[in-house]
Amino acid sequence: MKRIGVLTSGGDAPGMNAAIRAVVRRGLSLGLEVYGIRRGFAGLIAGDFVPLSVRDVGDIIHRGGTILRTARSERFMTPEGQQEALEQIRAAGLSGLVVIGGDGSFRGAKVLTDAGVPCVGIPGTIDNDIAGTDATIGFDTAVNTVVQAMNAIRDTATSHERIFVLEVMGRHSGWIALAAGLAGGAESILIPEVPFSLDEVCKRLRESREKGKRHSIILVAEGVGSGFAIAEAIKERTGFETRVTVLGHIQRGGPPTAQDRILASRLGAKAVELLAEGRGGVVVGIINGEIAVHPIDEVVGKTKPIPTELVSLAEVLAI
11 binds ligand F6P (CB under 6 A): yes
> Using CB under 6 A, which of 73, 125, 145, 188 touches ligand F6P?
125
- Return the residues of window 205-234 that contact ligand F6P according to CB under 6 A: 222
> Taking CA 123 as the corner, what is the angle to CA 121 and CA 125, rounded to the nearest 5 degrees?
140
The answer to whether 251 and 145 have CB atoms below 8 angstroms apart is yes
127 part of the active site: yes
Q: How far is the CB of 102 from ligand F6P (least distance, A)?
A: 6
Window 170 to 189, contacts with ligand F6P (CB under 6 A):
170-171
Task: Give the shortest CB-4-to-ligand F6P separation in angstroms.
Answer: 26
Catalytic residue among 103, 127, 140, 260: 127
Within 8 A by CB and 6+ apart from 285, the residues are: 123, 130, 132, 133, 134, 267, 291, 292, 293, 294, 299
Residue 96 vs residues 142, 199, 279: alpha-carbon distances, Å: 30, 54, 9
Asked if 126 is part of the footprint of ligand F6P (rule: CB under 6 A), the reply reads: yes
- Name residues whose C-beta falls within 8 Å of residue 134's C-beta, 6 or more positions apart in sequence: 285, 286, 287, 288
Determine, following the binding rule CB under 6 A, whether residue 252 of this chain makes contact with ligand F6P: yes
The amino acid present at 102, given as its one-letter code, is G
Least distance (Å) from ligand F6P to the CB of residue 312? Answer: 24
How many residues belong to the site for ligand F6P (CB under 6 A)? 10
- Which letter, b or e, does each residue of 249-278 get, where b requires 16 or more Cβ atoms within 10 Å of its Cβ? eebbbbebbebbbebbbbbbbbbbbbbbee
What's the min distance (Å) between Cβ of 151 and ligand F6P?
Answer: 21
Which part of the chain contacts ligand F6P (CB under 6 A), choosing from 169-177, 178-186, 255-263, 278-286? 169-177
Among the listed ranges 107-115, 123-131, 259-267, 285-293, the one in contact with ligand F6P (CB under 6 A) is 123-131
Query: Which residues on neighbouring strands pair with residue 96, listed in sequence order?
Result: 4
Residues that bind ligand F6P (CB under 6 A): 11, 102, 125-127, 169-171, 222, 252
Residues annotated as catalytic are: 127
